[in-house]
Amino acid sequence: MFDILKKFVSDLSESDEPENFIHDKLQLAEAALMYHVIAVDGVVRDEEKGRMAEVLSRQFNLSEEETRSLALEAKTAEHEAIDLYKFTSILKNTLTREERILIIEHLWEMVFADGVLHELEDNVVWRIAELLAVDSRDRVLLKQRVWKNSAGNNAAEQSDD
């Protein structure tokens, strides 16, 4: 009986998942975190959804339809999740430090998509960075860089009007 239980536990810990399945899980985890950031203030704006689609498409080289599908899956996964750990654990255990830092940069892009820094958004990026083992210095530098870039883009967009 003990051998059967031991084999069962061993089988569970072995990864028989194909590489593309793991890749899809990583994409969904990052997209769900993005959706969480844009929704945390209680209002999901078109600018935020548009930026999310832009970043997902660019990051994962997705078609418009694939991006739309991933965003919808991300929204559903985020609503069903109990906490952020479900998403951050797979990312932290799979990605390199540089890849995790890039995720934080993407999250800051979500925060500044509407041109406003809401304290709930700031707090959730801080918590996600901690869960991904991205240090405070990197998080703050990314925040400043993305804000500077988004402020420049917003000024350019306004001057085009």
Domains and CATH numbers, the chain: 19-160 (1.10.3680.10)
Nearest to 52 by CA among 112, 121, 95: 112
Map tokens 């350019």 to a residue: 156
Contacts of 90 (CB under 8 A, 6+ apart): 25, 26, 29
Backbone angles phi, psi at 96, to 5 degrees: -75, 170
Nearest to 132 by CA among 98, 159, 157: 98
Report the C-alpha gap between 90 and 69 in whole angstroms.
Answer: 21
Map tokens 């919808």 to a residue: 72
Map tokens 């999901």 to a residue: 44
pLDDT score of 107: 97
Q: Is the dihedral of CA 88, 89, 90, 93 positive or negative?
A: positive
pTM, two decimals, is 0.80
Instruction: Decide: 49 and 74 in contact? Cβ < 8 Å.
Output: no
CA angle (7, 10, 15) in 5-degree steps:
135
User: Per-residue confidence of the chain (161 residues) as pLDDT tens digits?
Assistant: 545 544 444 444 444 444 455 568 999 999 999 999 999 999 899 999 999 999 999 999 999 999 999 999 999 999 999 899 999 999 999 999 999 999 999 999 999 999 888 999 999 999 999 999 999 999 999 999 999 988 755 543 433 33
